[in-house]
Amino acid sequence: MLKTVLFYLLLGMSFAIAASETPQVTHYETQVSFNNEAGGLQVDSRLVIPSTSLKNNTASLFLHKDFAISHISGDTLEDYTVSVSEIVPVWSVITLQFSGDTPMHEIDISYSGLIDAEAGHGNYIDNQSIHLSIDSGWHPVFADFSTPIQGTLHVELPADWKLYGPGKVRQTDKGLQLISEQPTIDVAIYATSQGKQAVDKGFTVVYDTENEDHAGALASMGNECLISLNTKFAATDTTNRLDSATLVLLDRTGPSFARSSYLSVTSELLVNEQQSYHYICHELAHHWTEFGDPMSHHYWMVESFAEYVAAREVRQKFGLESYEAVVADWKQRAQGHDFVWKADVKERAPAMVNYALGPLLLKKLEQKIGDESFNQLLDGYMTTPLTETEALLAELEQLTSKETRQWFEQVLGGDF
């Protein structure tokens, strides 16, 4: 049950935060070394937290509860507590209380522990490779799941290993560095001694032995969808362009996710060509879906728009029959769910609302207002920082009418 709670909390969270919209983010400088044989790690991290990220001079961070914290200090750190999280019981909440009114607060934290490869979240450390994402709780993240961080990860690895993640990888005399290029909410990496790659122009698939036979085809699919999405959402504003992307394809458990140009996908979900293309396009679309509060009732937009964009890409490549098959699947998975969004319901909607009922209602909206108006609304959502449903409804009203806004608000609320 604990495993299920963790998965449905984090499943599908795909984060990319526009740097231009976050002038002050927490910066990290993190050093990590691994005990591959034991599946363990040792981490020393310095966090520089802007006062704008604090509430009442307090910050709360998540870290896996089984890690042994050996050191926490900071010049303006007045006190701290470590307790078990009520939201994710396998994690600890580190509550930091700062003093003073300085614009930035710096802390150092050191800890060590083992990654539980049997926990079902797809994270592990072994002699061939390392896969770490937010679900493992390996690196401090803010407990609201929305406060951005950005920085440099210093990784101690054997000379023949390769490192992948969202950002630039640089070789140094002490190992490898991963320098993040834009803020996100966590630090996700894949490292391997095998380094198997399939490349098609701007799209790279890094794969394990079990996925060797179809990695090349997936690289071609990824490049095709990348070109298509750039044409739609970055034709006039090249700052929104995604020039390249890397997909880590592993025979593993756990959710798939996207961090802008870095995608990690479990091969369990790639059943056939159409489904694989759909899945890759969904994850690529998250480069353009502005990230908000993942625990709020507005989060439906992030996944529903990415899913609907992916379905439209399926229609473009495979035809109307394939698209209708996707819609039929949404209908089946949406059964039992009554609404997508209500102003007075603040909790995040269930997964099948975000991934099935939400895109169904976007399809209904497109049928109501027509292709031209819907494409304008879609372009507005995908290319501007729009994170709240009320703002989407206001944009819809501006493009159409007050009556259409009221109609769609009622549809989202269950009148469909």
pLDDT of 109-161, one tens digit each? 999 999 999 999 999 999 999 999 999 999 999 999 889 999 999 999 998 99
Handedness of CA 136, 141, 146, 151 (dihedral sign): negative
Residues 157 and 62 in one domain: yes
**Total residue count of the chain as it appears in this document:** 416
Q: Which residues contact 194 (CB under 8 A, 6 or more apart)?
A: 128, 129, 208, 209
Structure tokens at 43: 């981490």
In percent, the amount of the chain with pLDDT more than 70 equals 94
Q: Tell the residue number behind the tokens 């034709």, with chain if given.
A: 235
> How far, in whole angstroms, is CA 186 from its chain's centroid?
9
Residues 205 and 314 in one domain: no
Nearest residue to 44 (alpha-carbon basis) of 90, 93, 107: 107
Q: How far apart (Å, rounded) are the C-alpha atoms in residues 403 and 416?
A: 16
Decide if 49 contacts 104 (C-beta within 8 A).
yes
Tell me, yes or no, whether 291 lies in a domain: no
Residues 278 and 331 in one domain: no
Determine the pLDDT at residue 14: 53
Q: How far apart (Å, rounded) are the C-alpha atoms in residues 331 and 327?
A: 6
User: How many independent structural domains does the chain possess?
Assistant: 3
Kindly report the CATH number assigned to the domain that includes residue 277.
3.30.2010.30
Point out which residues pair with 32 in neighbouring strands. Answer: 43, 155
Residues 389 and 273 in one domain: no
In one-letter notation, the amino acid at residue 343 is: A
Domain boundary among 127, 161, 192: 192
Question: Helix crossing, 273-285 with 215-233: angle to 10°?
Answer: 40
141: number of Cβ within 10 Å: 22
Summarize pLDDT for 165-177 with one digit per residue, the tens: 999 999 988 889 9
Decide if 331 contacts 57 (C-beta within 8 A).
no
Q: Are strands 149-155 and 26-35 parallel, antiparallel or unpaired?
A: parallel
Residues 206 and 139 in one domain: no
Residues 179 and 231 in one domain: no
Per the structure, the complete domain to which residue 83 belongs is given by 2-192
Determine the pLDDT at residue 402: 98
pLDDT above 60 for 1: no
Residues 61 and 153 in one domain: yes
Within 13 A of 299's CA, how many CA atoms are on the CB side?
25
Summarize pLDDT for 36-83 with one digit per residue, the tens: 999 999 999 999 999 999 999 999 999 999 999 999 999 999 999 999
Residue 289's Cβ-count burial label (10 Å; 0-12, 13-18, 19+) is: buried
Decide if 48 contacts 170 (C-beta within 8 A).
no
Tell me, yes or no, whether 290 lies in a domain: no
Determine the pLDDT at residue 6: 43
pLDDT above 50 for 9: no
- Mark out the alpha helices in 250-357 (DSSP H runs): 273-285, 300-318, 320-334, 351-352
Residues 16 and 119 in one domain: yes
Q: Considering all CA atoms of the chain, what is the largest pairwise distance in Å, rounded to the nearest integer? A: 64
Report the predicted TM-score, pTM, of the whole model to 2 decimal places: 0.90
Residue 403 parent element (H or E)? helix 402-412
The values of phi and psi at residue 265, to 5°, are: -130, 135
Residues 276 and 388 in one domain: no
Domain boundary among 285, 308, 339: 285
Residues 50 and 130 in one domain: yes
Q: What is the average per-residue pLDDT within 291-319?
A: 94
Tell me, yes or no, whether 294 lies in a domain: no
Kindly report the CATH number assigned to the domain that includes residue 185.
2.60.40.1730
Determine the pLDDT at residue 87: 86
Residues 137 and 238 in one domain: no
Residue 126 parent element (H or E)? none
Determine the pLDDT at residue 371: 96
Tell me, yes or no, whether 292 lies in a domain: no
pLDDT above 80 for 23: no
Q: Which residues contact 406 (CB under 8 A, 6 or more apart)?
A: none
In percent, the amount of the chain with pLDDT more than 90 equals 82
Domain boundary among 285, 308, 324: 285
Determine the pLDDT at residue 237: 84
- pLDDT band, residue 251 (cuts 50/70/90): very high
Residues 169 and 270 in one domain: no
Residue 162's Cβ-count burial label (10 Å; 0-12, 13-18, 19+) is: middle
Determine the pLDDT at residue 290: 83
